[in-house]
A and B are shown apart, each in its own frame.
Chain A
Amino acid sequence: MGEIRLMKGNEALAEALIRVGCDGYFGYPITPQSEVIEYLSKEATNRTGMVVLQAESEVSSINMLYGAAGTGRRVVTTSSSPGISLMQEGISYIAGAELPCLVVNVMRGGPGLGTIQPSQSDYFQATKGGGHGDYHLIVLTPYNVQEMVDFVKLGFELSEKYRVPAMVLADGAMGQMMEKVELFDQIPRRTEFPEWATTGKPHDKERRIVTSLFIEPEVMEQVNLRLQAKYRQIEAEETRFQTMNLEDAEYVFTGFGLGSRIAMKAMELAREKGYKVGLIRPQTVYPFPYAIYRETAPKIKGILDIEMNSGQMVEDVRLAVGDKTRVEFYGRMGGMIADPESVLKHFEKVYLGVE
Chain B
Amino acid sequence: MHRLVISGSVLALILTSACASPSVQHAAASADHSAQATGHSAAAAVTSVATVSAVPVVAAGSVLAVTGAALESVGTASVNAGAEVLNAGLGNAPQQICVGNTPAPCVAPQAAPNLE
Do these two chains interact? no
Measured CB to CB, the residues of B under 8 A from A are none
